[in-house]
Amino acid sequence: MHLNSTLLRSTASRIAALGAAAVLATSGVAPATALAVDVVPHRIQVHPDRTLVHKAAAAHFACQDRPIGAGRCYDPGQIQRAYGVDALLAHGITGKKRTIVIVDAFSNPYVASDLAIFDATFGLPDPVLKVIAPQGVPDFDFNNPDHTGWAGEITLDVQWAHAIAPQAKIVLVEAKSSEDADILAATKYAVDHNLGDVISQSFGEGETCVLPDLLDAQHRVFKRATDKGITLIAATGDDGVAQFACDGSDAVFKDASSPATDPLVLGVGGTTLDAGAKGRYKGETAWSEAQDIGIPCLTADGDGCSGGGFSDSYRRPSYQAGFGGTRRSARGIPDVAYSAGVDGGVLLHDGVFLQVLGLDPLDPTLFFRAGGTSEGSPQWAGLIALADQLAGHRLGLVNDDLYGFARSSPTYARTFHDIRSGTNDFAGIEGYETSRGWDPVTGLGSPKANVLVPLLAATAH
C-alpha cells in the first residue's frame, strides 16, 4: 500500500518523488538554500515529499514570499484564511470536544515535540494528543526507510489536522507494519473502540492490489464506523490516474486508490493553491507538478498529481447519480479536493527527518515544506470536526450532503471552489481533465469552509 503524501520515497535521491515536498527553514538572517529530500515507499507507501527551509524571522519563512512556481509555502494562518476556516475559528468553532483519529504505520519518537514546536511557532494551542499502538510497534529504526517515511506522514497528519481544528483531541493509532492487513487492523481497533468522530487515512494502494477478502473486510469495518456516525476520509494518491505495481516496483498501471474508492469514504484529491501573503484566495488548479525533471507527471520520477479515477470493485453510489463522466456506472474519486502542491506546500516540523539529515531534531527554527494528497485528508478531517462541534453530534457519511450541495448551482458556488484547470495524466498513462462540477481529478473541488461547514452541520442528520 502507498502512503498518499509526497514526503516519502525509497532513497535520499527519491525522497521527494512521491508527491509531497518539504522545505527546511531556519531563523538565520538570510535563508539557507532549500534542500529537496525524498523518503522511501513500502507496501502501503507513504508519499510525503519535503524540502528543508529556514525560518527567516519570528514565525516567517522565506518561501512564504515566493510566488507559485518558485517554491511557495504556507503557514496555518494562510491556509485557514484561503479556505475560510479563519471565520469559523473567530466564532469559537475550533473542534472543541471533538476527536480526530489518525491511522498510520510504525511510530514517530518526535511526534509530541514536533507538535509542540509547531504550535509554539504558529501560536496554536497544544491539543490533547494520545498515541495508541494496539498491536505494538517495532523499535524505531532511523536506518529503516519504512520507519522514517511513515514518521514523516505521522507528523504531517497530526500537525495539519490540528491546524484546522486546533481544539480537537487527536488520537494517533499506529499499525505494527505497513502491510495493508495490519493497517486495517489498526483502523478496526479505532472503530471497535469508538476512539473518535472522524478517521483520517493518508495512504492507499491500487484497488486491484487489495485481496478480495481484505477488501470485503475493510468495507465491513467501514460500515460499522458509519453506523456509529464516524466519518471516514482517505487521500486519493499522488500519482494521478495511476498506481504503483502491486509487487512494490516502480512499474505503474491505471487504477484508482483504495481505501478512497470505498463508497463509505470521503476521497480527497489535490490542487495547487495560489494564495496571497495573508492567505487571500487567488485560485487553484489540479495538482500536477514534476519534482525534478520539469515535465509534469509524465514519468515515475516526476510524480505529483491528484489521484483520481473509477473503481473496478464498487458501483456508482446513489450520491454520485448524475455525476461521473464517461464511467457513470462506477464509483468515481475523488469526492473533494484540497491544497496538495509541493510548490505551495505547508510548513511542518519533522524531527525524525532532521535527525536523518544530521541536524538537531529539536531545533525550533528548522521546518519543512510538504505536500501531497495526504495533506488534504487530515485537513478535511479537521473540517468535519468543526462541523461536528457546530452540529453537536457526529455527521457520519457526509458524501450525500456534499453532492447534494453541488446539485444546486447557487449552493455549489457558495460552498466549493470548482477547479476547472488541469489533468491527472501520469507516466504516459492518459488520465482525466478537470471540468465544470465534479470530475475524477479534483472531485467537487475545494471547500469554502465558512459556508460549507455551517451548512453541512445544519443539513446532516
CATH topology for 83-338+372-459 is: Rossmann fold (3.40.50)
- What's the average model confidence in pLDDT over 180-207? 97
In tens, the pLDDT along 215-227 reads 999 999 999 999 9
Whole-number CA gyration radius for the chain = 19
- Mapped onto helix, strand or coil, the DSSP state of residue 206 is strand
> Is residue 8 within 8 Å of 150, Cβ to Cβ?
yes
Read off the pLDDT of each residue in 275-290 and give the average, rounded to a whole number.
Answer: 93
The H or E element spanning position 246 is: none
Q: How confident is the model at residue 1 (pLDDT cuts 50, 70, 90)?
A: low
319: pLDDT strictly greater than 70: yes
- Alpha-carbon 260 to chain mean position: 12
What's the predicted TM-score (pTM) here? 0.91
pLDDT reported for residue 152: 95
Residue 417 near residue 281, CB atoms below 8 Å: yes
Return the closest-CA partner of residue 44 out of 374, 273, 380: 374
pLDDT digits (tens, 9 = 90+) for 349-366: 999 999 999 999 999 999
Q: Report pLDDT digits (tens) over 201-212.
A: 999 999 999 999
> What is the pairing mode between strands 266-275 and 231-235?
parallel
pLDDT over threshold 80, residue 5: no
Work out the mean pLDDT of the chain and round it to a whole number.
87
- Grid look-up 464509483 returns 331
**Digit-coded pLDDT (tens) for 73-127:** 999 999 999 999 999 999 999 999 999 999 999 999 999 999 999 999 999 999 9
Kind and range of the H or E run holding 173 = strand 169-175
Tell me, what's the pLDDT at 61?
Answer: 92
Cβ neighbors of 111 (< 8 A, separation 6 or more) are 129, 131, 151, 154, 155, 158, 172
What is the per-residue pLDDT across 8-57, written as a single tens digit (0 to 9) for each? Answer: 432 222 222 222 334 343 322 222 222 222 222 235 656 556 778 877 66
Residue 303 has pLDDT above 60, yes or no: no
Mean pLDDT, residues 150-174 taken together: 98
Residue 318: CB atoms within 10 Å: 10
Report residue 18 CA to chain centroid gap. Answer: 13
Secondary structure (3-state) at 55: strand
Of the two residues 23 and 66, the one the predictor is more confident about is 66
